[in-house]
Amino acid sequence: MATHHNDGPLLQVSHVDIEYRTRERLVRATHDVSFDVWPGDRFILLGPSGCGKSSLLKATGGFLTPRGGEITLQGEAITAPGPERMMVFQEFDQLPPWKTVLENIMFPLLASRKANRAQARETALHFLNKVGLAGFADAMPHTLSGGMKQRVAIARALAMKPRILLMDEPFAALDALTRRTMQEELLALWEEERFTLLFVTHSIEEALVVGSRILVLSPHPGRVRAELNCHQFTLNDFGSEAFQHAAQHIHDLLFPSGGNRTSPVSGEEPAYVAATLHSS
C-alpha cells in the first residue's frame, strides 16, 4: 500500500520551463509549471496537443533537462533516467521484438540488478498474470495485439516496483473498446498495487476516469490553468450528470472563449468535443 501523505509530496515539479532549440528557432514547451504528486496519486497531465505534456513527462523521466525550475523525487533532483521511474509509451513497438514476452518483462529487473534470473522470472510471471497474459510468456511481441503489447509494457514497468509510473498516452493508439478495457484494467491494478501514477492524455473523458487529480494545461507554452480533484469518478460514471458537468467544466477551462467547439485550438480538438458530448 502507498504511504499516505506523511512525508510530503513524492514528486515535486517546481516552476519548470522547458525549451527546445532547433536550428531555426527556440520552442518554449512549458512555462512556470508547478505541481506536486503524492504517494498513491493518479495524477493526470491534460491539455491540447503541443502544451508540453510529453515534455513534462520526459523531464520527470530524466530524459531531458528543464531550462528553468526543478523536478525532485522524494527531495532528490532528477538529473537522469532511473529504474525508480518507469515509463510506458503510446507506441506499440516499445518491446524489443527479439525477446519473448517473459524476457521483455525480466530484462529491466536483470539489467538494473534488482533480481537474479530466478527472482526476475518469478516477478515477471506474477505481473504477467496480473495483466491477464499468463498464457503468453513465450510469445514474441509481433504476435500480440496492440492492447496485449501495452499490457506487457505495463507489466514490465510495474515489475520494477517503480516509485512512480510514467505513462504517455498509453492507450491513445487503441480502438475505443480496447481503450476502455485497458482503463478498467489499469484502475483494477491500481486498486491492488496502489502505485503512484503520472499519466498524460489529451482526452477529458480518460482524465476523469483514470485520474484522482488533473492538471489542466494551456498551450504554447504550456502553463497551469487549473488543478482539479476527480477521484470520485469511475468507469461507471460515463454519462452521469456529475461526470458531464465536470467534463464541461474542464472543456471551458481549455477553451475559455465560451463553448465555441469549433475554435481552432488544435487538430486534436475532437477528443475534447467527444468527451463533453459523450452520453450513454
Ligand X SMILES: Nc1ncnc2c1ncn2[C@@H]1O[C@H](COP(=O)(O)OP(=O)(O)OP(=O)(O)O)[C@@H](O)[C@H]1O
User: Interface with ligand X by CB under 6 A: which residues?
Assistant: 20, 22, 27, 29, 47, 49-55, 202
Provide, rounded to whole angstroms, the least separation between the CB of residue 113 and ligand X.
31
Provide, rounded to whole angstroms, the least separation between the CB of residue 209 and ligand X.
18
Provide, rounded to whole angstroms, the least separation between the CB of residue 204 and ligand X.
13
**Burial status of residue 138 (CB atoms within 10 A of its CB: 0-12, 13-18, 19 or more):** exposed
Specify the DSSP class assigned to residue 226: E
> What is the Cα–Cα distance from 212 to 190, expressed in whole angstroms?
11
Provide, rounded to whole angstroms, the least separation between the CB of residue 272 and ligand X.
12
Provide, rounded to whole angstroms, the least separation between the CB of residue 228 and ligand X.
18
Which residues share a beta bridge with 17? Answer: 68
Residue type at position 171 = F
Pick 22 or 280: Cβ nearer ligand X:
22
**CA 187 vs CA 40, 180, 201, 203, 229: distances in Å:** 12, 11, 15, 17, 16
Helix (H) or strand (E) holding 16: strand 11-21
Q: Determine contact, residues 67/26, Cβ cutoff 8 Å.
A: no
Which one, of 165, 157, 168, lies nearest residue 55 by Cα?
168
